[in-house]
């Protein structure tokens, strides 16, 4: 089983929308056993701005810019203290929460990715923050994180009320197995409810009688179905070993669907889950793509839900 650390990188941009990430942490209880790092990439005044310091006409503008930067940093520090206070009220240990505000260097997304390489087990971010546009599923920074941050899982906090019910997709691939290991690590010894689900596309189109010209295809489909069942059974055993009561583990196999992503999002909603967990890449492990097509589509189809993409 994959070993995971204990530090969670929580990305905040200072907006009220971003603050809902803290509300998510308060509601999702298993994370209160983790060390939380509240992280902000601070947009300070660019160094190039100070190159005009010898120009008399610019002195007033420079003074205003410096004042703006100092005020913004004070506001961010107050924002972080507010976030920390709310987490402590929700049961997090004050000693387990740290604040990290870093000046922007290469770009917001690239600076987050660089920080994420320093021993974190996952990165938690909001789908959208400052400048969010109506009907846009994700902001540009979060999109870049999902596309390019493959070293650790990316957790996208949604708007749906948290009830600690997780919809964990399973297909027997390495990516799926890592998603199971990650989930077991996070929810260990908790009261979380887990729905294990596999999706077989176009299953109903095959002849399962084992007769005629479709016999070979039928055997392949049956074999694939059995593989999915075995994968779900193995996942259930890992969860039970992590301390999840067997009564809180459900199994679900969806067959005959035309779209796996749509079926996953719909089934998760029908099961009353607030979080969907997927491996970054599944059975169709195409090396040229950083993230599989199904996870991308699920992010868009389940736009109000929390989605964990596990590397």
What pLDDT digit, counting tens, does each position of 82-104 carry? 999 999 999 999 999 999 999 99
Q: Please identify, among 117, 132, 157, the residue that sits at the C-terminal boundary of a domain.
A: 157
Whether the predicted pLDDT of 274 surpasses 90 = yes
Residue range of the domain that includes 50 = 1-157
Residue 96 shares a structural domain with residue 240:
no
Rounded mean pLDDT, 228-256: 96
Q: Return the exposure string of 170-199: e unless at least 16 CB atoms fall within 10 Å of the residue's CB, then b.
A: bbbbebbbbbbbbbbbbbeebebbbbbbbb
For 75, the token pair is: 């506001």
User: Residue 223: its pLDDT value, please?
Assistant: 81
Residue 224 shares a structural domain with residue 150:
no
Residue 168 shares a structural domain with residue 265:
yes
Which DSSP string do the residues of 164-179 spell out, in sequence order?
SEEEEE--SSHHHHHH
Residue 146 shares a structural domain with residue 167:
no
Residue 83 shares a structural domain with residue 6:
yes
Residue 280 shares a structural domain with residue 183:
yes
Tell me what the pLDDT averaged over the chain comes to: 86
Residue 234 shares a structural domain with residue 292:
yes
User: Residue 219: its pLDDT value, please?
Assistant: 74
Residue 211 shares a structural domain with residue 91:
no
Reduce the DSSP state of residue 2 to 3 states and report it: coil
Give the model confidence (pLDDT) of 115-154 as tens digits: 999 999 999 999 876 544 444 456 788 999 999 999 999 9
Give the model confidence (pLDDT) of 162-198 as tens digits: 999 999 999 999 999 999 999 999 999 999 999 999 9
Whether the predicted pLDDT of 30 surpasses 90 = yes
Whether the predicted pLDDT of 287 surpasses 50 = no
Residue 117 shares a structural domain with residue 187:
no
Reduce the DSSP state of residue 95 to 3 states and report it: helix
User: Residue 259: its pLDDT value, please?
Assistant: 87
Whether the predicted pLDDT of 245 surpasses 80 = yes
Q: Please identify, among 128, 157, 186, the residue that sits at the C-terminal boundary of a domain.
A: 157
For 108, the token pair is: 């917001």
Decide if 188 contacts 242 (C-beta within 8 A). Answer: yes
User: Residue 49: its pLDDT value, please?
Assistant: 53
Number of structural domains in the chain:
2
Domain of 70, CATH number, reads: 3.40.50.620
What is the strand order of the sheet 193-201 is part of? 97-103, 35-42, 7-11, 120-126, 154-157, 306-310, 275-279, 165-169, 193-201, 249-257
């Amino acid at each position: 089983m994959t070993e995971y650390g204990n530090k969670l990188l929580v990305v905040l941009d200072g907006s009220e929308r971003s603050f809902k990430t803290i509300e998510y942490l308060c509601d999702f209880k298993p994370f209160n056993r983790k060390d939380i790092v509240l992280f902000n990439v601070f947009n300070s005044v660019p160094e190039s701005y100070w190159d005009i310091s010898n120009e008399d006409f610019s002195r007033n503008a420079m003074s205003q810019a410096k004042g703006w930067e100092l005020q913004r940093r004070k506001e961010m520090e107050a924002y972080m203290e507010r976030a920390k206070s709310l987490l402590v009220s929700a049961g997090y240990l004050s000693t387990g929460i740290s604040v990290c505000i870093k000046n922007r260097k290469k770009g917001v997304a690239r600076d987050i990715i660089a920080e994420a390489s320093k021993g974190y087990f996952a990165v938690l971010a909001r789908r959208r923050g400052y400048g969010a546009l109506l009907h846009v599923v994700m902001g540009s920074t979060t999109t870049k994180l999902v596309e390019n941050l493959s070293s650790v899982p990316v957790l996208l906090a949604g708007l749906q009320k948290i009830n600690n019910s997780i919809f964990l997709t399973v297909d027997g691939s390495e990516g799926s197995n890592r998603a199971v290991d990650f989930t077991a690590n996070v929810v260990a010894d908790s009261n979380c409810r887990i729905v294990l689900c596999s999706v077989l596309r176009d299953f109903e189109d095959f002849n399962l009688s084992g007769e005629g010209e479709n016999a070979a295809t039928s055997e392949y489909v049956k074999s694939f179905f059995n593989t999915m069942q075995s994968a779900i059974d193995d996942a259930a055993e890992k969860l039970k070993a992590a301390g999840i009561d067997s009564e809180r583990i459900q199994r679900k196999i969806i067959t005959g669907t035309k779209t796996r992503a749509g079926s996953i999002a719909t089934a998760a909603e029908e099961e009353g889950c607030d979080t969907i967990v997927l491996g970054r890449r599944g059975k169709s492990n195409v090396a040229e793509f950083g993230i599989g097509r199904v996870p991308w589509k699920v992010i868009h189809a389940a736009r109000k839900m929390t989605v964990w993409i596990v590397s």
